[in-house]
Each structure stands twice: as structure tokens, then as C-alpha cells.
Amino acid sequence: MKNVAYRWNTFQLYDYRGVEEHLSAMAAQGWRLEKAGVTFWKYRRAEPASLRYAVTYNAGASRFEPGPTEGEQSLEELCAAAGWEKVSDCSKMQIYSTEDPAAVPLETDEALRLENIHRCMRKSFLPGNIAVLLLMLFIGRDFFLALVTWDLYGMLKNNALLTAGVLCLAEAALQLCLLAGYFLWRRRSRRSVEEGGTCLPVGCGSRWASLGMWVLLVLLVAVFLLSELDRGHRGAVLYFAVYMAFFTLINILMRGTTALLRKKGASKTSNIAWTLAVDVVLCFTLIGGLIWSRYETDWFSDERPTGETYEYRDQNWDVSPRQDFPLTLAELTGEEYGHVRREAEDLGSVFIPQRAYRETALLGDGPKVCGLGYTLWDLSSPALQESLLEDLLEDDPIKFRSMTLFTLRYVPEDPVPWGAEAAYRRYYDEDPGDSWLLVWPGRAASVSPDAEPSDAQKALISARLAPEDWKEETT
């Protein structure tokens, strides 16, 4: 039979009544609180007892202080004289218990209790909540902007962006709810106290909201990882796993540093400075190193060759080029190439699948090469198609140090030779480029051959890249 139990702490700092009732109920079931941590509370088995728990607040308490402060000691002394024994503390929340049913309550002035709670909230929790809210708004700014302007493609174009965006949105909403919940509770409690009553119960809303947030986080991350694995993005999954492991490790080491320094009797200032220094160093080395390795190594890369390659003319070529390309360079040009390299990559999201193909071939015996690239988007609804086109057809100024070098833009051209519903050619300012955007119902394709295709080549491109429904309709 286990003698120790842990419970995830979902109580808000100001929910003193919820904490008191919960701890009394636990004591009645034979579990006494041993330590109230920020994340988990530890309980130890004991004889079931009718214990009274009470919470008071000490605005001067800090987890960086070496042991109990003078204020905490004075408070303990006063409580002991009134028959209350200190059980634990969680930040500024001080938890006491007594077996004496007639002991004077810790707080006998509700107005003062309310004022004191607000002082504690203002000192640590409100700035923390507001900081998290601002951080979420900053991290998810692209997603929020897309949401506000109802840019469907902007919201759904990428799995990672979508997952992070929804999480940021949910977390920002949670922080807003927590802030609103506190101020609403404070306003109602103040009214109650002014009318001679007590501070009001907090209710379970904030606890359920926090729990809901965690459930959403786990579900979204699971969906994201499974979706990435399904598309063969093992590198992205590995990167995410290592990132989360480092993040957890940094958190544990930071808390460990604070606890160790506190145990060693370091001053509050010194504790904060060292904890901050450890945090910065760890973030720089672990997270910075991870980001560096993503760009400088192939540890998290998915673009590993799928088959055997050989080197010729300082380049790698496929021994057996993949055969799953809807259109190959040889088919388009009618030429035979001795040295070919083909790469395909799944991009986009579960809502907007996007697959990019790239083929490179050596012209004759080299050294010149030619290439063909195309990207296909499958769009399940006209709204998504409209949103994608709006995004792709927008003028794209290419800048260097705030100076516009040229503007990339798509200009409509006759779609008939392309066998498409709409066709656009990309221009660099006024100069036409060799890149086209073709649109069919339910699909869009951007095609980049090395030169302007003939009408026969355009028809071939359409025959290979257009959706089956369209081909059946038009034949």
C-alpha cells in the first residue's frame, strides 16, 4: 500500500476556501498534505482525522528566500499561539492546520483578507498571467492575424503553425479567463464584504479551464506528431521531442538551482541572480544548440536520399530515380537523360495537403543541368481555394535592406492551352519568368520548367497535374 500520493495543483492563489475544503476532505480520507509545490502537492498517508485547515497570505514570502523570512517566522509564532500549526507554503500562500475546533480563525477581517490577497496577486501572479498572455499573442501573431482577417490558407497552410496557433489561442484565452475570473471574484467579494459578508467561493471554472488546456495541449500535440509521422517527417518529430525534453530539463534544473541555493542559505538576490544565470546558460547551450544543429547538421532532416546515389561531375545523382512523379523531365522534353536526381517533399497541413516535386538532370555529359519543379495543392473546398489564390496572387516585393529590388507578381494569361480553369504567369516587375500558377477546381499547381513550354508541353503538364474529375469532365 503506497504511503505517498501526488496531486496536480490546479488551485488559483486566491482560492483559499477551495484549498481549505480540499485539504480537510483529504485528511478525513487519511491523506495529510506534506508539501505544497507549485505544480504538484505531496500527501502522506495518516489516520483519518477531522482537521481544520486554513490559508493565509504573506506578500513578503518568496521561494528565493533562504528559509522562512522573519515575517514568516513571526506569522508562525502568532499562529502557534492561536493553536495553528504550519503545514506548508506555496509561494505566498501559507497553509496551517489545527485539531482544535474552537481555535480562532486565521483571518478575522474579510476586508483585510481581500486586500492582502490582491497584494499577493498583484505582486507575482498577475504580472505572470499578463506576461504569458502577451507572450502567447506574440508567438501566435501570424495565426491570430490570419484568424482576424479570416485568411483560411494563412491559418491552415502548415501543421506546425496550425498546432502552435491553436495552442497559443487557447492559452491566451485561458489567461484572459483566469484574469477575468479573478477580477470578477474580487469585485463580487468586495461587494459581499462591504455588505458584511465574507469573500466568495471561487468555483471550479478556473480549475476546469486549466485542466481543459492540458487536455487540449496533449491532444493537439499527439495529432500533430502523428500527422508528421504519417507524412514521413521523422526529423520534425525528433526535433519536437528533443526540444520538449530540453525544456523540461531546463525547468527541473532551474528549480533545482533555486532549491539548492535556498538550502545553502544564499541571499534572495544571489539566488535570483544565479537562477537567472543558469537559465540563460542552459537556454543558450541547449535550445540554442538545438536550433543550430537543425540548420547546420542533418540530425533532424527528412531530406535524406531515399535510394542509392552516385557522384558525377561533383553532384549526387540517383542510381534508381523514384518513379512516383506525376510528370518527369524526360516526358516533358522528350529527351533522355543519363543522370537524374528526383526529390519530393510533403508540405502543407492535414487540411491543405501540399506536395513539392523537384527533378534535376545533367544535359548530355554536363556540366550544364536542367530542371523541373512543381508544387501541388489539394483543396477540399472553394473557400480554401479562394484563400490560397488570394495569398499566392498577392504581389510579393523582394527587398534588400528596405529597398525593393523587384516585385514578384502573377499576371493572368489564357488558360486554354494549359487545359486549366485559370492560369497565371509570374513576372519580375515587367519581365516574364518561367513559372506558372495553374488552377483547376479542387487543385492548384505552381510549375517551374526551365523555359516557356510549347502548347503541346502545356497540354501534357495539364494532363499530368490536373485532378481526375476535371480531366473526365473535359474529355
Partner 1 sequence: MAREKFQTLTEPMFYILLTLREECCGTDIMTRVSALTRGRVDLGPGTLYNLLDSFQQAGIIRETAVEGRKRSYLITDKGRETLRAEYRRLLALTEDYKTCVGEEDLK
Which window, 72-80, 124-132, 137-145, 428-436, contacts partner 1 (CB under 8 A)? 72-80
Using CB under 8 A as the binding rule, whether residue 36 contacts partner 1 is answered as no
Q: Residue from 25, 78, 218, 260 that binds partner 1 (CB under 8 A)? A: 78
The Cα–Cα gap between 355 and 362 comes to 24
Query: Are 228 and 241 in contact, with CB atoms under 8 Å apart?
Result: no
Q: Residue from 29, 74, 404, 474 that binds partner 1 (CB under 8 A)? A: 74
Q: Residue count at the site for partner 1 (CB under 8 A)?
A: 27
Residues 6+ apart with CB under 8 A from 229: 237
Binding track, positions 88-127, relative to partner 1; x by CB under 8 A:
------x---------xxxxxx-xxx--x-----------
Query: Are 255 and 219 in contact, with CB atoms under 8 Å apart?
Result: no
Query: Are 433 and 427 in contact, with CB atoms under 8 Å apart?
Result: yes
CB of 105 to partner 1, least distance (A): 5
Q: Residue from 1, 81, 319, 451 that binds partner 1 (CB under 8 A)? A: 81
Closest CA to 245 of 215, 287, 280, 214: 287
Judge if the upstream peptide bond of residue 68 is cis by omega within 30 degrees of 0: no
Using CB under 8 A as the binding rule, whether residue 67 contacts partner 1 is answered as no
Sheet order of strands, 396-400 included = 340-348, 353-362, 369-378, 443-448, 431-440, 422-428, 403-413, 396-400
Using CB under 8 A as the binding rule, whether residue 15 contacts partner 1 is answered as no
CB of 35 to partner 1, least distance (A): 21
Using CB under 8 A as the binding rule, whether residue 19 contacts partner 1 is answered as no
Using CB under 8 A as the binding rule, whether residue 199 contacts partner 1 is answered as no
The Cα–Cα gap between 407 and 83 comes to 78
Q: Would you say 111 or 252 has its CB closer to partner 1? A: 111
CB of 3 to partner 1, least distance (A): 31
Q: Residue from 46, 82, 223, 408 that binds partner 1 (CB under 8 A)? A: 82
Task: Name which of residues 46 to 65 contact partner 1 (CB under 8 A).
Answer: 54, 56-58, 60
Q: Would you say 69 or 129 has its CB closer to partner 1? A: 69
The Cα–Cα gap between 351 and 103 comes to 62
Using CB under 8 A as the binding rule, whether residue 134 contacts partner 1 is answered as no
Residues 6+ apart with CB under 8 A from 94: 55, 56, 57, 58, 61, 72, 75, 86
- Site residues for partner 1 per CB under 8 A: 54, 56-58, 60, 71, 73-79, 81-82, 84, 94, 104-109, 111-113, 116
